[in-house]
Amino acid sequence: MDYTVYKLIHYVGIFMLMLSLGSLFTKYNKCAVIGHGISLLLILVAGFGMQARMKESYEANFDTTFPIFMIVKLVLWLCFGGAVVLAKREVIKGSTAWLLCIGLGAVAAYLGIHKPF
Protein backbone atom coordinates (compact mmCIF):
# COMPACT_ATOMS: atom_id res chain seq x y z
CA MET A 1 0.00 0.00 0.00
CA ASP A 2 0.95 3.60 -0.46
CA TYR A 3 2.29 5.76 2.38
CA THR A 4 -0.76 8.05 2.24
CA VAL A 5 -3.12 5.08 2.71
CA TYR A 6 -1.22 4.06 5.84
CA LYS A 7 -1.35 7.65 7.05
CA LEU A 8 -5.11 7.81 6.50
CA ILE A 9 -5.64 4.53 8.39
CA HIS A 10 -3.41 5.86 11.18
CA TYR A 11 -5.47 9.06 11.46
CA VAL A 12 -8.75 7.14 11.49
CA GLY A 13 -7.37 5.00 14.31
CA ILE A 14 -6.33 8.09 16.27
CA PHE A 15 -9.78 9.67 15.91
CA MET A 16 -11.44 6.41 16.96
CA LEU A 17 -9.12 6.15 19.96
CA MET A 18 -9.92 9.64 21.21
CA LEU A 19 -13.66 9.08 20.75
CA SER A 20 -13.59 5.75 22.58
CA LEU A 21 -11.50 7.17 25.42
CA GLY A 22 -13.95 10.04 25.79
CA SER A 23 -16.76 7.54 26.04
CA LEU A 24 -14.88 5.26 28.43
CA PHE A 25 -14.02 7.97 30.91
CA THR A 26 -17.59 9.30 31.04
CA LYS A 27 -19.41 5.96 31.25
CA TYR A 28 -17.79 2.56 30.86
CA ASN A 29 -19.49 0.48 28.16
CA LYS A 30 -18.61 -2.52 26.02
CA CYS A 31 -18.91 -0.75 22.64
CA ALA A 32 -16.33 1.83 23.70
CA VAL A 33 -13.95 -0.94 24.75
CA ILE A 34 -14.36 -2.65 21.37
CA GLY A 35 -13.74 0.67 19.59
CA HIS A 36 -10.68 1.22 21.77
CA GLY A 37 -9.19 -2.14 20.79
CA ILE A 38 -9.91 -1.72 17.08
CA SER A 39 -8.45 1.78 17.09
CA LEU A 40 -5.26 0.60 18.79
CA LEU A 41 -4.92 -2.14 16.18
CA LEU A 42 -5.40 0.34 13.32
CA ILE A 43 -2.83 2.71 14.81
CA LEU A 44 -0.27 -0.06 15.28
CA VAL A 45 -0.67 -1.66 11.85
CA ALA A 46 -0.67 1.66 10.00
CA GLY A 47 2.26 2.97 12.05
CA PHE A 48 4.39 -0.03 11.17
CA GLY A 49 3.26 0.23 7.56
CA MET A 50 4.46 3.84 7.42
CA GLN A 51 7.72 2.79 9.07
CA ALA A 52 8.25 0.13 6.41
CA ARG A 53 7.70 2.69 3.65
CA MET A 54 10.10 5.19 5.25
CA LYS A 55 12.83 2.66 6.11
CA GLU A 56 15.43 4.08 3.69
CA SER A 57 14.78 7.63 4.85
CA TYR A 58 15.12 6.64 8.51
CA GLU A 59 18.33 4.79 7.79
CA ALA A 60 19.80 7.85 6.06
CA ASN A 61 18.69 10.33 8.76
CA PHE A 62 19.00 8.30 11.97
CA ASP A 63 21.50 5.54 11.04
CA THR A 64 18.88 2.94 11.98
CA THR A 65 15.62 1.67 10.51
CA PHE A 66 13.86 1.83 13.90
CA PRO A 67 14.60 5.25 15.46
CA ILE A 68 14.23 6.08 19.14
CA PHE A 69 11.16 8.29 18.60
CA MET A 70 9.28 5.19 17.39
CA ILE A 71 10.16 3.34 20.60
CA VAL A 72 8.80 6.30 22.60
CA LYS A 73 5.63 6.23 20.47
CA LEU A 74 5.23 2.50 21.23
CA VAL A 75 5.45 3.29 24.95
CA LEU A 76 2.76 5.95 24.48
CA TRP A 77 0.67 3.36 22.58
CA LEU A 78 0.96 1.04 25.60
CA CYS A 79 -0.14 3.89 27.89
CA PHE A 80 -3.22 4.48 25.74
CA GLY A 81 -3.88 0.73 25.82
CA GLY A 82 -3.75 0.73 29.61
CA ALA A 83 -6.29 3.53 29.78
CA VAL A 84 -9.10 0.95 29.60
CA VAL A 85 -7.99 -0.46 32.95
CA LEU A 86 -7.93 3.02 34.47
CA ALA A 87 -11.43 3.70 33.16
CA LYS A 88 -12.87 0.38 34.36
CA ARG A 89 -11.43 0.70 37.86
CA GLU A 90 -12.26 4.42 37.93
CA VAL A 91 -8.72 5.35 38.97
CA ILE A 92 -8.77 8.52 36.88
CA LYS A 93 -12.00 10.42 36.23
CA GLY A 94 -13.29 13.49 34.46
CA SER A 95 -11.02 16.39 33.67
CA THR A 96 -7.88 14.61 34.88
CA ALA A 97 -8.40 11.82 32.34
CA TRP A 98 -9.27 14.37 29.68
CA LEU A 99 -6.06 16.35 30.25
CA LEU A 100 -3.94 13.20 30.43
CA CYS A 101 -5.27 11.90 27.10
CA ILE A 102 -4.77 15.27 25.41
CA GLY A 103 -1.24 15.51 26.81
CA LEU A 104 -0.27 12.01 25.65
CA GLY A 105 -1.80 12.69 22.25
CA ALA A 106 0.11 15.97 21.95
CA VAL A 107 3.41 14.26 22.77
CA ALA A 108 2.70 11.52 20.21
CA ALA A 109 1.80 14.12 17.59
CA TYR A 110 4.97 16.10 18.27
CA LEU A 111 7.09 12.98 17.90
CA GLY A 112 5.32 11.98 14.69
CA ILE A 113 5.62 15.39 13.08
CA HIS A 114 9.12 16.49 14.12
CA LYS A 115 10.88 13.11 14.61
CA PRO A 116 13.43 14.68 17.01
CA PHE A 117 15.56 11.59 17.72
pLDDT 10s digits, 46-91 = 999 999 998 888 888 888 888 899 999 999 999 999 999 988 898 9
Provide the percentage of residues in the chain whose pLDDT is more than 70: 100
The overall pTM is greater than 0.85: yes
- Residue 17's pLDDT is 96
Handedness of CA 64, 68, 72, 78 (dihedral sign): positive
- H-helix or E-strand containing 97? helix 94-114
